[in-house]
Amino acid sequence: MIEIYNLFKQYDHQPLFKDLHLVVEKGSVVAVIGPSGSGKSTLLRCMNGLEAFQAGYISVDGQRLYGVLERGYNKGQEGIAIKNIRRKVGMVFQQFNLFPHMSVLHNITVAPVFVLGVDRAEAESNAISLLTKVHLMEKAKKFPEQLSGGEQQRVAIARALAMKPEAMLFDEPTSSLDPEMIEEVLLVIKELVSEGMTTIIATHEMGFARDVSSRVLFLDKGEIVEQGKPKEMFSNPENDRTKAFLSRFMK
């Protein structure tokens, strides 16, 4: 589903990713863990075309993004590939990014209607189904400011699903939430994962990463230091950096 090859990215001549490789199979669930500033969010943003990179390529279901210094880079073709990727891959951010002047229902229907050309009645019917999925059907006519943080994040998930993506990227979706709201968002993501959606999630929720993922990546300073099955990664990590990071969660 997703292949990253020789990814190189730098900020102001300070390298973040250097020759990074990653393959994500269709239907798999990959949890990306690591300290703040390790590159987790940037990696997801590169996959969705929100961040440019200098070298290597990222392929999403056959749509390929090249580093801006690669010989295969073409700005016009890159723009087309990004549009196609965003139709295949939904993304949920740390901040909810809902339109404050639109109702919950309107937030979910606006992209399918204007981007995909879906009939409004069909888009609204699908939105109601999605709100039921995220346990918020009764909030359809509310506005974002009338919702809790956890409810807003669940609306953001429904909005991403309304585009009928083939994969989902979650960029630390609970980091802006109060502790009592975290579980309600994680529950919705668990339900989505159980349906077979290809999922990559950057998270600080170690228990969640252990329970729902098929593979865990430990990212530190832009490098995939270690990766493996959740049980092995959390019970017996091999790399000293991984051990040091996970030690606070393994007591």
Contact in structure between 53 and 44 (CB atoms under 8 Å) = no
Question: Averaged in consecutive runs of 10 residues, what is the pLDDT profile of the chain (251 residues)?
Answer: 95 90 95 94 95 95 93 91 93 92 97 93 96 95 95 95 95 88 91 92 93 95 95 93 87 55
Q: Which pLDDT score is estimated for 251?
A: 55
Which helix or strand (DSSP H or E) is residue 57 part of?
strand 55-60
What's the number of CA atoms in the CB half-sphere (13 Å) around residue 36? 1
pLDDT digits (tens, 9 = 90+) for 31-58: 999 998 899 999 999 999 999 999 999 9
Domain 2-249 fold: Rossmann fold (3.40.50)
The reported pTM is 0.92
Nearest partner of 56 among 65, 67, 45, judged by Cα: 67
Give the pair of three-digit tokens for residue 174. Answer: 């609970």
Strand pairing category for 198-202 and 167-171? parallel
Q: In what order do the strands lie in the sheet with 63-66?
A: 14-24, 2-11, 55-60, 63-66
Q: Which pLDDT score is estimated for 163?
A: 94
